[in-house]
Amino acid sequence: MQQKLKRKSKVTILFFLLTLAFITFLARALYILLDDDKNLPSLHSSEINRAVRGDIISKDGFTLATTKKLYMAEIDTRNLNSSQKNLFVKLFSIYSELDPTKIKKTINSHKGYVRFSYTIDEKKAKHLKTLARKLLRRGVFVEFIDIKKGKRFLHGLEILESEEYRDFIYKDSLTPIIGYMKKIETRNMIKVKAVKGLEFFYRDKLQAIKDFQMRGKKDVGANIIFNKNTIIKSRLDGYNLHLTISLKLQKAIEGILDRFAKNLGAKEIIASVMDSKSGEILAMASSKRYNPNHITGDISALNVSAIEYTFEPGSVIKPITYSLLLRAKKLKPSTIFKTHYGAMLIGKRVITDDHKFPRYMSAQNAVVHSSNIVLAKMAQKLDALEFYQGLKDFGFANYTKIDLPYEHLGQIADLQKLNSKIYKATSSYGYSMKVTFIQLMRAYAIFNNGGDLVTPHLLSHLISPLSKKYIFKNKKISILPKDVTQMVKNTLIKVVDKGTGKKAQTLGVEIGGKTGTAHIATKGGYQLSYNSSFFGFANDKKQNYTIGITVIEPQTVYFASQTAVPIFKEIVDMMIYNEFLKIEF
């Protein structure tokens, strides 16, 4: 009996030990299965391809700004098969065009992760990714067991995104209106952020929408296996921005401005061509430009002068004053005024003309020959509210809503000031007010499109990542009756035929416009420096263009007839040569 009990006890202990061993085995097996990250190479792989900013494209189909990526190459030297090291160095140097000696030195001097370059372009990166898969299949990289950490892993050649950059292909063309970018360092890569211009205004549309992502089981070559469990998210880049601007016209105008800026010693020259009926801007150029690909120092002060620089416009306001009087039926083009032989006292201030005119002059000829005295007398016929509201109707002291950031409002005399005869007088010929170049462009388009106020714009349409087209829609506001518009237009044509704009004459094309030369005001009063402008139109049988020129602080000569008008003429001649305008006889 006692022996039986002993035998039973031994069997029980043996059974217990066997059971414990089996449980330990199961626990270990489960541990290994549930702890793949620590002990086994991952059976899954993922791939990310970051979406990029949309392109900016000109009216004539040239890509002006696009986003490009740079990549870095990375390996873990512990996974590099020592017997295949020379093969790796040879192949990697061929594909990457890096020095094989430096590659070998880097590998030999580091244990663990090493990176060979941060500036691999997209084409090389594509080829290197193909090479990476081939190297894994050939056994150039092998599994490494980290005894201390209990890890087993296999990392081959990895090509990772390191930086995105904005490439402005035509360098300084379209600057400063196109804007520029600044670099932003993130945890994983260097990205870009828009600063000013179109890049900033349309930042929400241009910015990348969604990265491409793919995750699934991998094969022995580390390729993701496509099956129903593979997770794929499509890449959606930013919208492409299609402009109204013709690169061909823009570059030609920039060349003209550069030459005149040098000859005139001007601080800056601004020029623009706009479709009078639609508000589409075909060119907006400046002699003050920069290359957005190479930003050095702080250039935040390099603004878009066409919308951010405010100035007293001088005599280019006279046709607007004239049109308000015609609209209010306060005079006719033939209404006669005294000229006072070149000098007239209003209150304590003397109003003068640059030339002595005959004793009497019509309202139309006062605009044609640019008489301050007659315009000052004409303006007294408008009450303060009529004058103030008229200037507001033309868009002064209002935003034009052009698609550029940081537009300035400008200013006009308030109602109280316009009750004063002297403020009414000086405002009538372009002093006691501040305007922007783009406000004058919009105002002059009214005379060339039948009386409508349009919104100047640089965007033609947007193309979404899914190829859907979104077209810019312009709203028009009627400002002048057609008969008034025609009377003013005829007057502007006469300015070119017989007045201060004679140098703009072009046979076979309808040309009209008005000159303006204005002293530049400072806190201490008016200084001996000037801005000169010419705003007008150039039309053939099909096209109606508003064209504006402003020369800021010319040094050699300053009258608009000698500065802005010759530039206008060269632009029109160039447009004819390039078939933007067609001569008709």
H-assigned helices in 69-118:
85-96, 100-109
> What pLDDT does residue 428 have?
96
Q: Where does 52-205 sit in CATH, by number?
A: 3.90.1310.10
Number of H-type helices and E-type strands within the chain: 18, 27
> What pLDDT does residue 384 have?
96
Angle at 146 between CA 145 and CA 150, to 5 degrees: 100
Residue 360: count of CB within 10 angstroms of its CB: 11
Amino acid (1-letter code) at residue 1:
M
E-strand spans in 360-463?
360-362, 435-436, 452-453, 459-463
Contacts by residues 212-218 (CB-CB < 8 Å, ≥ 24 positions apart): 212/47, 212/48, 212/49, 212/50, 212/51, 213/46, 213/47, 213/48, 214/46, 214/47, 215/44, 215/45, 215/46, 215/47, 216/44, 216/45, 217/43, 217/44, 217/45, 218/42, 218/43, 218/44, 218/45
Q: Which of 157, 166, 70 is nearest to 121 (CA)?
A: 70
Instruction: Print the SS3 string covering 304-347.
Output: CHHHHCEECCHHHHHHHHHHHHHHCCCCCCCCEEECHHHEEEEC
Low-confidence ranges of the chain (pLDDT < 70): 1-18, 21-22, 24-47, 214, 216-231, 297-301, 524-525
Question: Burial of 119 by CB count in 10 Å (0-12 exposed, 13-18 middle, 19+ buried)?
Answer: exposed
> What pLDDT does residue 430 have?
95
Cβ(341)–Cβ(374) under 8 Å?
Answer: no
Beta partners for residue 67, in sequence order = 166
Residue 341's region, left for phi above 0, alpha for psi from -120 to 50, else beta, is left
Beta partners for residue 286, in sequence order = 270
- What is the rounded distance in angstroms from the CA atom of residue 284 to the CA atom of residue 282? 7
Buried-exposed string 450-462: b where 16+ CB fall within 10 A, e elsewhere: bbbbbbbbbbbeb
Token digits of residue 263 = 């000859």
Listed in order, the ranges of the chain carrying CATH 3.90.1310.10 are 52-205
Question: Burial of 401 by CB count in 10 Å (0-12 exposed, 13-18 middle, 19+ buried)?
Answer: middle
Token digits of residue 521 = 């005001």
Question: Burial of 486 by CB count in 10 Å (0-12 exposed, 13-18 middle, 19+ buried)?
Answer: middle
> What pLDDT does residue 40 have?
46
Cβ(453)–Cβ(394) under 8 Å?
Answer: yes
> What pLDDT does residue 150 have?
72
- What is the rounded distance in angstroms from the CA atom of residue 499 to the CA atom of residue 497? 6
Cβ(450)–Cβ(544) under 8 Å?
Answer: no
Cα dihedral across residues 404, 323, 475, 399: positive or negative: positive
Token digits of residue 523 = 């806190």
Amino acid (1-letter code) at residue 303:
N
Cβ(418)–Cβ(384) under 8 Å?
Answer: yes
292 DSSP 8-state letter? T
**pTM listed for this prediction:** 0.86
Would you mind telling me the total number of residues written for the chain in this entry? 585
What is the crossing angle of helices 421-428 and 318-327, to 10°? Answer: 110
> What pLDDT does residue 585 have?
73
Q: Does domain 247-292+306-577 have CATH number 3.40.710.10?
A: yes
Calculated CA dihedral for residues 447, 448, 454, 456, nearest 10 degrees: -110
In DSSP notation, 510-576 reads: EEEEEEEEEEEEETTEEEEEEEEEEEEEEE-SS-EEEEEEEEES-SS---TTTTHHHHHHHHHHHHH
Listed in order, the ranges of the chain carrying CATH 3.40.710.10 are 247-292+306-577
In DSSP notation, 115-156 reads: EEEEEE-HHHHHHHHHHHHHHHHTTSB--EEETTTTEEE---
> What pLDDT does residue 301 have?
56
Cβ(37)–Cβ(152) under 8 Å?
Answer: no
